[in-house]
Amino acid sequence: MSATLLKNATIVDPTSKHHLKKRDVLVEKGIIKKIAASISEPKAKEIVLKNLHISQGWFDSSVCFGEPGYEDRETIENGLKTAARSGFTAIALNGATQPVLDSKSGIQYVKGKTAGNVVEVYPVGTLTMQAKGEDLAELFDMKTEGAISFYDYQKPIENANLLKIALQYTQNFEGLVQSFPMDPSIARKGLVNEEINSTKLGLKGIPALSEELQITRDLYLLEYTGGKLHIPTISTKKSVQLIKEAKKKGLDVTCSVSINNLCLTDDELENFDTNFKVLPPLRTKKDIKSLLKGLKDGTIDGVTSNHDPHTIEDKKTEFDHAAYGSIGLESCFGALQAIVNTETSIKALTGLKERFGIHTTPVSEGSKANLTLFNPEGTFQFSEEHIVSTSKNAAMLGKTLKGTVYGIFHNKKIFLNE
């Protein structure tokens, strides 16, 4: 069927003249042909869903799967199915694989493996060779093959000069550099946020200072060099202030926050559940309050699921030895919707597209259909039955989420959840 008719859909898109209006939307051959109060098209396949809302397709700026090398955590095929079910029409796929994505051939592999899927995959090349933090990787070659940014996933760039050179070099081809906000000399062997809970539980702490020092250093370097910097997954009150001040100065910097750090505090750690062992570590209510304020006022540019699958062996072990990370694609929208209004949710899930060089397509006549279909209402308890990822290490298990994802429309394909 080449035509699809979405009936009675509330459009959530501030760039569209139909924003917050209930409309019928006719899509033919992947293009939005008509938007009107009522459309009759006998040849079209009608989609009628309870309280249907549609927005521009969502983008997740930090996703890990496993393939190549760690297929037991997650394959690309099942990972893309998970992303589609979770409402994402585009994801930035980190190079935390084996081998890492540090060359042209690695980027080609990902692009070839994911071509034509309903979910668009944008590979993130590592900033350094083998993600070791010593020598810059083949940045220009990777960019020409389709890498949208450069990031050693959750590995701090210890060498300030290396970041300086990266920021200078990437200006030649509009490259986007990411720098993980943690100073390892301060964090050392810390496991969780350094606060009252870490002391009570006898767990080594990662001070907020380790994040804030690294961000301060990175912003000084950016001011010196120019270039484009993205700071992924900030987590502290002071970090929000630092980035707000940098933006006021006119520095070309953006940042994201992980859904885990926006919803969960280090109070969750009392049972030593390793699903809550994440990076950045879960912080305090005071930090969450500032992060939410930063998201609403635009200091924070977007929310990421920070989807990071790990096997049972990696997680069902002593807290000290467990891997960092939680899956988050399936729960990201519901967790976000439970704490902010719908317009803020959609802005948070689409706000980083332009920064990562992804063309935004408004919900308007003549545009390509790049849509997420959802119902913003209704609460439920997130459980394993909602997880389609191979790995089940979810920090949101047992939490009350709000809203339902119906599916996505992209690349002339529609994907609807059963």
- Of the pLDDT bands very low, low, confident and very high (cuts 50, 70, 90), residue 9 is very high
- The predicted pLDDT at position 418 comes to 81
Name every residue whose Cβ is closer than 8 Å to that of residue 25 and which is 6 or more positions away in sequence. 5, 6, 9, 11, 32, 34, 35, 39, 54, 363
Confidence check: pLDDT of 2 > 90: no
Structure tokens at 166: 């990266």
Confidence check: pLDDT of 232 > 70: yes
- The predicted pLDDT at position 256 comes to 98
Structure tokens at 292: 């939410």
d(C-alpha 361, C-alpha 382), whole Å: 31
pLDDT tens per residue, range 297-329: 999 999 999 999 999 999 999 999 999 999 999
Answer yes or no: pTM beyond 0.75.
Answer: yes
User: Mean pLDDT for the chain?
Assistant: 97
- The predicted pLDDT at position 7 comes to 97
pLDDT tens per residue, range 36-68: 999 999 999 999 999 999 999 999 999 999 999
Confidence check: pLDDT of 1 > 80: no
Domains of the chain: 3-53+365-380+396-416 (2.30.40.10), 57-350 (3.20.20.140)
- The predicted pLDDT at position 235 comes to 98
For the segment 9-24, the average pLDDT, to the nearest whole number, is 97
Q: Give the amino acid at 344.
A: T
- The predicted pLDDT at position 414 comes to 96
d(C-alpha 385, C-alpha 364), whole Å: 36
Confidence check: pLDDT of 168 > 80: yes
d(C-alpha 277, C-alpha 363), whole Å: 39
Please name the residue that has the structure tokens 């980083």. Answer: 352
Q: Give the amino acid at 370.
A: N
For the segment 132-148, the average pLDDT, to the nearest whole number, is 98
